[in-house]
Structure 1
Amino acid sequence: MEKSAHAASRNPVRKPASLRQIAASQSSIQTLARHGLAAGISAAMLMPLCATAQTDPTAQAQGKAAESATFPTIQVVEKAIDPNPNAEVGAPYKAKTSGDSRHTRPLAETPQTIQVVTAAAIADSGQTDLKQILSSQPGITLGTGENGNMFGDNFVIRGQSAKSDVFVDGLRDPGMSTRESFAIEQVEITKGPNSSFAGRGSAGGAINAITKQATLDYNFTRVNLGVGTDSYQRYTADINKAIGDNAAVRINALWADQDVPDRDPASRARKGLAISGLYEASKDFSITLDYYGARGKDDYPDTGSYLVGNQPYRRPTESDVVGAQDGDFMKSDIDTGTARIRWNIAPEVTLNSLTRYGTTNNSYAFWAPQYNTNAQAATIQTHSRWQDVKYFAHQDNLRWDTSLFGRKNESVFTLEYTDHQVDQGGYTAANALPFNCRTATGSGTNNAYCVTVPGSGTDGATIANPNSITGTTWTRGGKNYDWHVKTVAASAMDTVDLTDRFTAFGGLRLDRILDFTAKTLNASTGAITGDYQYEETLRNGWAGLSYKVAPDGIVYAAYGTGQDINGGEPDSGTAAGYGGLVTVTGVGVVTNAKPETSKNWELGTKWNLLDHKLLATAAVFRTDKSNVMEATSQAEYAVDGTTNTGANRVQGVELGLVGNVTDNFSLQAGAAFMKSKITKANAANASLIGHPLANFANQSSSLQGKYQPTRDFDFGGTVRHDSRRCGGQPDTGVAYDAATGLCAQPVKGFTVLDLFANYRINKHLQLHANVLNAGDKEYYTAVYRGGFFLYKGDARRFTIAIDLEL
């Protein structure tokens, strides 16, 4: 991963440096001082002045006055320039502001839990996929799914699915893809429902990735070359070049390939290219155009493990088999273009305009193992889907800073239009090789493929060549689901200082669903078998009040809402148990329904400590979700359901600490202590009332710390802990075994340690080493409701990288 580097004074740009840059980077001056050159240069510059002072009486008098005068101390501090405009200078893990211009105050003054992971923290951690980065943060777990809802990153924030609540630079990213970090400046996790910012959805929160953009401030060329165990290779480049005084180009590139540790032959490959071009016509008007392209492919996709046994002995199998076959794959192709305009219309009025068009093509086709009781072995099943996404979005944010009754007032008015379309289908498998086992007891012909020895039981030995037993050829089938939504939205937000200590925050947003259609089709003939159309206006608000108890400390209270519609998860089709379109039991057709609604109350405090280099936060919250769409059973493919019959509650406490504890010690730490329960359910799920939500960890915490004993060497690590959780359907309580009262699909808690170290050889070269999962802990992150997808964390990996600044 690319690292923030020392000042690039060897490639100066004619644009004057900002005070922030001057304060942030003095490595060249330090280098001169170490060689004794600074004193010589200073003396040479002062000699003519000294000669003049000796001959001019007036100059002599002025010189004596100057000698007696007291000048402010100029402190030269060697710090790396961080091109992230939202960074806190000198604190690599701490962000000062949000990348979303609608947050008008610094994060330390915003009455809401907003957790930020900076590029420096990501680079030190050694994690690269967004899923890996965010699953290490407190209050976030991973969800699971299969067939229509297995694509890409599946996050659960405060117990609520957030796979459709991922944003890039403030615009929703509906691609549901596998996302990489090579072009990310910082990742912001907003906790609690807040559709005033995010629009529909965001029941538990939202994720906003801020991308790297071209800058006129200075030029740099950074290259990172990494290798490691399990055939790990990762190469990135980050190049920024000013073209004259008014234009700049920034290029980020990625090529990466790796085997999944201890899961041969599973592998992951990532390629990416991000190009950003800036034209600054004047200090008041600029245009930025950027392209983002990414290609992700997993050969022999790793679906992890599976559960075996009965309660109270339900556990992961000890058989470490990967069931994927030759030719199996999981792919994600992303192409996105964005245009940004920033116009300072007047000293107090600024317009930020964003327009984006993108396409994402996701597909997977593979075999995955699960335990078969009759075969007394692990058999493999097919899972496949393709999904093509097209999306257009335009957003205008007008900020107006004014005075209200003599008090500072910041207003933001937003207009937004989005057009998102998702087509889905599947693959058919043609198998060239014969079955090698049977799932029925007694005599009979083989009717299945086994990857462990038939009759050997739950932890049977793996058969010979388990990844070459089917001879499968995959053929893409026709479209079976067509999801399309057009939305126009308007919002108004205001931040006003009521007194020197009290500040009020508020916002209202209307989202008009202009055209929502969800069609099911016969994949072979293309005939429409179902056509659901829906129109709705979503009304959401956010309000907060903060009180400054000290110059750098606030307490606050906040309230926010979020809403989503029936069928709002486009990748779930008509899988009612996973947020898909709910068809009503006994009717056989879909029907209109009230939006699902989440309400969140939060009380908290934030403190900027140690000269603003350390931010401490604490919040207590409660989220109530009502009008939940429910499936009518815990069946694997529940289609029929009921609308607006469910409700659940999540409440808890979150703590955070990020920044510099000392000049040599940086950290990012957080903990979440939460409880969840179903408070209302339909008749079919009434027995689940009081049960917790699926893949919900009551306790989660993480600590990433870095200590720098010398100017050229630092080391640190990350320790993260998740408590145990249970599998099940989103928005429906987890099932318990009737006989034992234990969770039917358990996932054990875990604690994992990662280590890293950095050594700077010179101003051009730095070494970076990581040991991920240093204790080689076997752990699992999520489980499917049937227990036959048990996502497994990566085993130990060693990597070493060279950071070059050219």
Structure 2
Amino acid sequence: MSLLVTVAASALLGVGALDPGGPEATQVAPIVVTGEQRGYLAVNTITATKTDTPLIDVPQSVTVVTRRQIQDQAMDSLGDVLRYVPGVTVGQGEGNRDQITLRGQNTTADFFIDGVRDDVQYYRPLYNLERVEVLRGPYALIFGRGGGGGIINRVQKAPSADAAFGGGRVFADSFGGYGVWADVNRPLNDATALRLNMMAERSESFRDFVEGERFAINPYLAAEIAPGWNAGLSYEYIDDERTTDRGVPSFQGRPLEGYDERFFGVPGANVTTLKAHIAKLRVEGRLSDALSLNATLVGADYDKLYANVFPGGPATSPTGEVPLANYLDTTDRRNWLFQSNLIWEHLGGPIEHRVMVGFEYGDQETDGLRLNGVLSAPTLSLSNPVYPTVEFTTPSRETTSRVRTTSVYAQDQIGLGRHVDLILGLRWDRFDIEGVDFLPNPDRPFARVDEEVSPRVGLVYKPVETASLYASYSRSFLPRSGEQFGSLTPTTQNLEPEEFENVEVGAKWDVSPLFSLTAALFELRRTNATTPDPADPTVTINVGETVTRGLELGVAGRITERWTVSGGYAWQDAHLEGNDLIDLAQTPKTSIALWNRFEVNERLGLGLGVTHQSDQWAAIRTTAATTRLPGFTRVDAAVFYALTPSVDVQLNVENLLDEDYWADAHNNNNLTPGAPLNARLTLAARF
């Protein structure tokens, strides 16, 4: 067996006006399974079941954004990717992290890399990715705690011993930002290869004083260590520094208009920094023809700081004063995460089985400190802005915690003849947290142990080989210490975890080998639900039971030889059970996203995309004062041209019609204006 991944030359790092939708990254002997991709269409996934399974046989809603689409749309952040996934709302993340809402459930921690938890708060880069997978619905069986509305999994590029290849891209945008990405793969012998991905970027913004720099490098060594056994060792270093920007305030329940470029902070003091070291070792191979084993160990260290001054309330008038709030927060987290899966396959005959038994262990230590600051002025004048100074001097929170998790799970994918598949699974989790609140004095130790059982049941009916109907039930939970293990109060320490239950039915149809349609109807219930208090986001309130019902439609692949698409439609109704007047935050009723690529000839291609979101609430709607973000429609475009067989030039224009809109929010008074028209020019080369 050859090593890892065979990568087609046309699918290397360059943008590529040629072959927009051809086969990419065919798996041979994977260290990290990237899954087969055909342009914008992904054919299979390892993430949804922890076994290599065709997407048509997965009983849940899954969207995959491939490397080809990421390149074609010149995406530079996870937020860019998820804005083109209907039903996923990108949050502001307080200007320092990825934050999203899936099926009405807001999260900063439901992120994974190659199926392993990646829950620290930061902006995740895309330079070393093969694809991004969005799996909707709570599936603790596969991922453990959290993931109430779904999870985001990034799949890393893997080395190949089949051929040497490489590429690079340089780009610049009309705001003044620029950067370079590089990707080099080198076989060291017939059974060993090294892949190196690197990036360096400087970002600029239409917003005053907002800028950033980041650098990342990811060497990845893989080898066939014995017949049928492979090992891979990856190390990633990320250094990110940028302005912490929390947008503009509201006025009378609407975003404050006319101040899209105004910065509501302290220039030079609003900053967020991250230094991350992430090492991963993976070994996998076959014990026999029917039995395989894989194991992954991740060790990571994250040093995070963010300091911010931000709108602490609504403006007094369109030309009046804006109250300011502030704090500085540091997080130091050390992760050790291990998972191993034993897979037994019995194929052929009237009943087939693919049985997986797995074990996970996690040890995460977190030190956190928050300092409140003293401002030289408590407000910022809209008519005569004079920025104050700030000194962060007063400790308001200091905690240390250690979380140890142990999980055992089993799953059986049962084939009942040619037309019916049944998936049955059960997982047991033990979540053990202990720590100390050092403030206020005296020190207050806290601890809690939760043990939860999470089932999963899925039924797939395939009337023909290229179409499936499915139904599924799944459940997940979230401990009371929250996603980031901040603390347990004397009250929350005695409360049971939040629980999520999802019922879903759907259909998938591979219209052709290069084109697919999907549909899903779901109901997601969250019990023991909590949310940040809209009046004071630092306080958590209990809201009881919430319910989200929705419809999701998806399309991906090549419609004709010259036309490739990716996108879909989502309708969601998310509210407090028994009270339709209390709606969940950042969940628009309707959202649409569609990206198209058209091949004019062998050298010239055109891209056209549209995203639409209806009105949404910036925070959970509890009063008439809750801020409502108006709906919007944004159009993006691109031109691709192959200068030579190995050199491409690409122009992407975001917000082509210069739409005035609100991109995201954190609460009622931290609202981000959408960027005006912005062009990015990319030059890419392959060798």
Residue 252 of structure 2 corresponds to residue 322 of structure 1? no
Could you tell me how far 1:582 is from its partner in structure 2? 5.3
Could you tell me how far 1:792 is from its partner in structure 2? 2.4
Q: Could you list the per-position Cα deviations for residues 365-422 of structure 1 after superposition, in whole angstroms to 9, with x for gaps in the alignment?
A: 1322455539922343323211111111000011111148642211111100001122
AA in 1 matched with 2:458: G
2:511 corresponds to: 609
- Of the three residues 295, 298, 309, the one matched with 1:356 is 298
- Of the three residues 337, 345, 364, the one matched with 1:401 is 345
- Of the three residues 588, 613, 618, the one matched with 1:697 is 588
2:423 corresponds to: 505
Q: Distance in 1 between matches of 2:121 and 2:433?
A: 19
1:184 corresponds to: 129
* Residue pair 2:509, 2:518 contacting (<8 A) in 1 also: yes
Alignment of 1:429-444 (within 5 A): 429=373, 435=376
Could you tell me how far 1:762 is from its partner in structure 2? 1.3
Q: Could you list the per-position Cα deviations for residues 144-197 of structure 1 after superposition, in whole angstroms to 9, with x for gaps in the alignment?
A: 565xxx741111101002321111111111212111111111111111111111
Residue 535 of structure 2 corresponds to residue 635 of structure 1? yes
* Residue pair 2:530, 2:540 contacting (<8 A) in 1 also: no
- Of the three residues 628, 637, 646, the one matched with 1:746 is 628
- Of the three residues 99, 103, 128, the one matched with 2:76 is 128
AA in 1 matched with 2:676: A
Secondary structure of 1:566's match?
coil
Residue 167 of structure 2 corresponds to residue 235 of structure 1? no
Secondary structure of 1:591's match?
helix
Q: Distance in 1 between matches of 2:439 and 2:11?
A: 66
AA in 1 matched with 2:656: A
* Residue pair 1:605, 1:618 contacting (<8 A) in 2 also: yes
Mark the CA change 1:165 to 1:90 in structure 2 (over 3 Å): closer, same or farther. closer
Q: Distance in 2 between matches of 1:157 and 1:647?
A: 17
2:439 corresponds to: 522
Q: Distance in 2 between matches of 1:654 and 1:315?
A: 29
Q: Which runs of 5+ in 2 are unaligned?
A: 13-18, 28-32
* Residue pair 1:84, 1:212 contacting (<8 A) in 2 also: no
Q: Could you list the per-position Cα deviations for residues 595-646 of structure 1 after superposition, in whole angstroms to 9, with x for gaps in the alignment?
A: 2111111111111112x11111011111111122467x6430564755xx71
Mark the CA change 1:640 to 1:491 in structure 2 (over 3 Å): closer, same or farther. closer
Q: Could you list the per-position Cα deviations for residues 519-563 of structure 1 after superposition, in whole angstroms to 9, with x for gaps in the alignment?
A: 32128xxx5533221112111011111111112111111111111
Alignment of 1:137-216 (within 5 A): 137-143=85-91, 151-216=96-161
- Of the three residues 632, 652, 676, the one matched with 1:795 is 676
Secondary structure of 2:82's match?
helix
Question: What is the TM-score with the length of structure 1 in the denominator?
Answer: 0.78
Mark the CA change 1:291 to 1:640 in structure 2 (over 3 Å): closer, same or farther. closer
* Residue pair 1:582, 1:639 contacting (<8 A) in 2 also: no
2:378 corresponds to: 448
Q: Distance in 2 between matches of 1:635 and 1:18?
A: 52
Secondary structure of 2:79's match?
helix
1:345 corresponds to: 287
Residue 469 of structure 2 corresponds to residue 555 of structure 1? yes
AA in 1 matched with 2:570: A
Secondary structure of 2:43's match?
coil
1:783 corresponds to: 665
Q: Which moved more, 1:418-427 or 1:703-712?
A: 418-427
Could you tell me how far 1:452 is from its partner in structure 2? 2.5
Q: Which moved more, 1:743-752 or 1:371-380?
A: 371-380
Residue 246 of structure 2 corresponds to residue 303 of structure 1? yes
AA in 1 matched with 2:45: S
- Of the three residues 36, 40, 57, the one matched with 1:93 is 40
- Of the three residues 188, 193, 197, the one matched with 1:252 is 197
* Residue pair 2:34, 2:130 contacting (<8 A) in 1 also: no
Residue 572 of structure 2 corresponds to residue 674 of structure 1? yes
Q: Could you list the per-position Cα deviations for residues 438-457 of structure 1 after superposition, in whole angstroms to 9, with x for gaps in the alignment?
A: xxxxxxxxx5352433xxxx
Mark the CA change 1:662 to 1:80 in structure 2 (over 3 Å): closer, same or farther. closer
Q: Distance in 1 between matches of 2:192 and 2:5?
A: 21
Q: Distance in 2 between matches of 1:128 and 1:25?
A: 21
Mark the CA change 1:115 to 1:630 in structure 2 (over 3 Å): closer, same or farther. closer
Mark the CA change 1:141 to 1:602 in structure 2 (over 3 Å): closer, same or farther. same
Could you tell me how far 1:359 is from its partner in structure 2? 1.3
Larger radius of gyration between Structure 1 and Structure 2: 1
Mark the CA change 1:530 to 1:637 in structure 2 (over 3 Å): closer, same or farther. farther
Mark the CA change 1:189 to 1:89 in structure 2 (over 3 Å): closer, same or farther. closer
Q: Could you list the per-position Cα deviations for residues 447-506 of structure 1 after superposition, in whole angstroms to 9, with x for gaps in the alignment?
A: 5352433xxxxxxxx53xx5xx43445569696122321011011111111121111112
Mark the CA change 1:131 to 1:422 in structure 2 (over 3 Å): closer, same or farther. farther
Could you tell me how far 1:690 is from its partner in structure 2? 4.4
Mark the CA change 1:26 to 1:198 in structure 2 (over 3 Å): closer, same or farther. closer
AA in 1 matched with 2:564: S
AA in 1 matched with 2:476: G
* Residue pair 1:483, 1:570 contacting (<8 A) in 2 also: no
Q: Distance in 2 between matches of 1:87 and 1:664?
A: 26
* Residue pair 1:602, 1:620 contacting (<8 A) in 2 also: yes
Q: Which moved more, 1:699-708 or 1:789-798?
A: 789-798
Mark the CA change 1:316 to 1:725 in structure 2 (over 3 Å): closer, same or farther. same
Could you tell me how far 1:714 is from its partner in structure 2? 1.2
Q: Which moved more, 1:402-411 or 1:699-708?
A: 402-411
Secondary structure of 2:69's match?
helix
Could you tell me how far 1:713 is from its partner in structure 2? 1.7
Q: Which runs of 5+ in 1 are unaligned?
A: 1-14, 28-76, 436-446, 454-461, 575-580, 585-589, 681-687, 738-742
Secondary structure of 1:450's match?
strand
2:400 corresponds to: 482
Secondary structure of 2:70's match?
helix
Secondary structure of 2:39's match?
coil
Residue 550 of structure 2 corresponds to residue 663 of structure 1? no
1:438 corresponds to: none
2:336 corresponds to: 392
- Of the three residues 7, 19, 24, the one matched with 1:82 is 24
Q: Could you list the per-position Cα deviations for residues 572-604 of structure 1 after superposition, in whole angstroms to 9, with x for gaps in the alignment?
A: x36xxxxxx4553xxxxx432222111111111
Secondary structure of 1:570's match?
coil
Q: Distance in 1 between matches of 2:247 and 2:223?
A: 47
2:15 corresponds to: none
Q: Distance in 2 between matches of 1:570 and 1:87?
A: 28
More helix by share: 1
Residue 686 of structure 2 corresponds to residue 805 of structure 1? yes
AA in 2 matched with 1:481: T
Q: Could you list the per-position Cα deviations for residues 321-349 of structure 1 after superposition, in whole angstroms to 9, with x for gaps in the alignment?
A: 11332322112222100000011111111
Secondary structure of 2:68's match?
helix
1:720 corresponds to: 611
* Residue pair 1:520, 1:530 contacting (<8 A) in 2 also: yes
Secondary structure of 2:301's match?
strand
Superposed CA RMSD in Å reads 2.8
Q: Which moved more, 1:791-800 or 1:599-608?
A: 791-800
Could you tell me how far 1:507 is from its partner in structure 2? 1.1
Mark the CA change 1:127 to 1:622 in structure 2 (over 3 Å): closer, same or farther. same
Number of corresponding residues: 671
Q: Distance in 1 between matches of 2:565 and 2:22?
A: 17
AA in 2 matched with 1:373: T
Q: Distance in 1 between matches of 2:670 and 2:329?
A: 17
AA in 2 matched with 1:563: F
Q: Distance in 1 between matches of 2:643 and 2:227?
A: 39
